[in-house]
Each structure stands twice: as C-alpha cells, then as structure tokens.
Amino acid sequence: MTSVQDRSVVILGSGPAGLTAALYAARANLIPLVLKGVDAGGQLMLTTEVENFPGFPDAILGPELMERMEKQAARFEAELLHQEATRVDLSSRPFGVWSGDEEWRAKTLIIATGAKAKMLGLESERRLLGHGVSTCATCDGFFFRGQELLVVGGGDSALEEALFLTRFATKVTLVHRRGQLRASKIMQDRALAHPKIEVLWDSVVEEVLGDGQVAGARITNVKTSETADVAAGGVFVAIGHTPNTALFEGQLEMQNGYIAVEEPSTRTSVEGVFASGDVVDFVYRQAITAAGMGCQAAIDAERFLEAQGH
C-alpha cells in the first residue's frame, strides 16, 4: 500500500490547457502535480503543422509544441507523471485522486482531460480499427502510400485529414452526410481546389468493407437511397470529438456533455474544482483557447487557495 500525498494543485491532463495550468501554478509556487494521462500531450500529438499558434510564424509541429510546453512547465518545478487518474472523489475537500492504488489528496483540482475522436459506431469500423480504419491521418497516413482513401466528415478536421492524406494517396474521397461542408471557408477552398480530393455529397458510410484489412466502404446517398461499394485502402473517420468526462459523471454539472463552468471563470459546480480546455469548450476548441483557459484555471485555483488561507 502506498502513502497518500497531499497536494495544493492536482492537474489532470497534459494538452495545452493542462500544461499551461501547470506552468502558471508552478510559477505561483504551488508545485502542481500533473497526471498526464494515457494520451499525454492531447490532440496536438496527432497533428502535423500548427500554423495558428501565435509566436510560430513558420508553423510548428504539434508534438514539438507540446514537448516545449512540457519542458517549460517542468522548468518551474511542476511534477509531471505519465499516469492517468482512474478515480476521483469530489464529495469533500481535499479531493481524492487515484491512479491505480496510488492516492493523492488535492486542495484544488484542475481538470484538463480534453476530448477524443468520435466514431461512426459501426461493427465493421470497430473490427477494422488499426487495419485500415483510422482516426489519425498524421499517425497512419504514411502506411497508405499510393492508395485511394476515404475520409468521413465535413468539418475542419475532415478537410485537414483529407489534405494531409493527399501527400500519400493517389485519390482522397471525402464522404459527407450533407450537401454543405461545416469547415471554415479557407479549408473548404483548399480542399475543393485540390486535384486529388473528390467529395461524395449527401452520403453516409453504411459499412466498412474488408476481411482483416479495409478494402473499401458501402456508401449510401441519403437523397437518392442509392448504395455503392467504393474501393479504398483506408477509411479515416474525422467526425468530431467527445469530451473525456467519464471520471466526473455524477460529481460535476455538465452542459451538452461537457463540464459546465461559471463563465467567465473556470469554476465548476464543486468549489475548488476548475476545468479548462476541450473538456469544457465546445465552441472554440483551439490549442490557443485551451492554453488560455488553462492559465485562467491556475489563477482561479491560486486565488481560491489564497482565499482559503493556504
């Protein structure tokens, strides 16, 4: 049995929100503990070029940006553990935080657990995940050199994936359930002008085809009800994200499935618990807004501790 450690600030998650919270809490001498989680670094770890994070006029790779953020937090004595919280008890302060049989007692908790990729929910999609079905072009695109690929979705993520995949694929077909894209104008312009990208409008994937490895997808046009089998070596699902809130269900108030905060602060429905980044934000969802909220959460936690006389 391990001993229980007391901490002023425990931060869950190590994306832009968690690491910015760690930087600010560390510089306030609160020696925060960061449980980085299994997907340490968050969604930017699955991104190539980040062109819209201020301070990097020539762009920076997502994983490199996260490495820099982590180094910066560690420089001010944030303690970072490559572990995930498996249970939290927010019913009384200090809060209980567990990772397996390790336990911490936290005076304040900053939740920055982010969000993860949504799936279509097809049995064939689950079966062929990692065998041609992917949610990450950056991670897997290289394996599909010289092949024809499908990307499902019509938002910025889908278009970003489609554009990235043109580096490897001979053709990328975007499958979108409506006749209009949700993505930003600039991404639409880029994708629709790309000679390798084609769009199947008003179309849904009924089934991913393949025995052991993806061979294509059965696609139905929702307007005409026509169904066709389209050959492809890979199917990239890029239909949005789900916030990582399972640990907090029944313990914190939610809004649309995301953790509710008392805007403009990062205060949640439990005093002493703060939340920031993609686990809260279903509107902006940017690395820079997540980092900004992480900063707010650390300042909110610091002020809370001060008001409590710590």
Active-site positions read: 136, 139-140
Q: Which of 120, 151, 208, 232 binds ligand NAP (CB under 6 A)?
A: 120
**CA-based angle 63:14:87, to the nearest 5?**
140
Q: Which of 41, 154, 210, 243 binds ligand NAP (CB under 6 A)?
A: 154
For ligand NAP, the closer CB: 184 or 308: 184
Name which of residues 206 to 245 contact ligand NAP (CB under 6 A): 239-241
For ligand NAP, the closer CB: 22 or 137: 137
**66 lines the binding site for ligand NAP (CB under 6 A):** no
Q: Which of 105, 182, 194, 218 binds ligand NAP (CB under 6 A)?
A: 182
CB of 70 to ligand NAP, least distance (A): 22
For residue 190, the one-letter residue type is: R
Strand 102-111 relative to strand 4-12: parallel, antiparallel, unpaired? parallel
**155 lines the binding site for ligand NAP (CB under 6 A):** yes
Q: Which of 116, 127, 171, 177 binds ligand NAP (CB under 6 A)?
A: 177
For ligand NAP, the closer CB: 80 or 158: 158
Q: Are 255 and 278 in contact (CB under 8 A)?
A: no
Please state, in angstroms and rounded to a whole number, the distance separating the CA atoms of residues 133 and 106. Answer: 40
Name which of residues 266 to 295 contact ligand NAP (CB under 6 A): 285
The closest residue (CB) to ligand NAP is: 155
- Extended beta strands in 82-165, E state: 87-89, 95-99, 102-111, 115-117, 133-134, 148-152
Count Cβ atoms within 10 A of the Cβ of residue 16 and give its class: 0-12 exposed, 13-18 middle, 19 or more buried: buried
For ligand NAP, the closer CB: 87 or 284: 284
Q: Are 95 and 103 in contact (CB under 8 A)?
A: no
DSSP H or E run through 171:
strand 171-175
CB of 9 to ligand NAP, least distance (A): 28
Q: Which region, judged by CB under 6 A, interacts with ligand NAP, from 4-12, 61-69, 147-155, 289-297?
A: 147-155
Q: Which region, judged by CB under 6 A, interacts with ligand NAP, from 18-26, 151-159, 219-227, 301-309?
A: 151-159
Backbone phi and psi for residue 148, each to the nearest 5 degrees, phi listed first = -95, 135
How many angstroms separate the most distant Cα atoms in the chain? 67
Where on the phi/psi map is residue 31: left (φ > 0), alpha (ψ -120 to 50), or beta? left
Please state, in angstroms and rounded to a whole number, the distance separating the CA atoms of residues 92 and 225. Answer: 55
For ligand NAP, the closer CB: 125 or 302: 125
For ligand NAP, the closer CB: 63 or 240: 240
Q: Under the rule (CB under 6 A), what is the footprint of ligand NAP?
A: 120, 152-158, 160, 177-178, 182, 184, 204, 239-241, 285
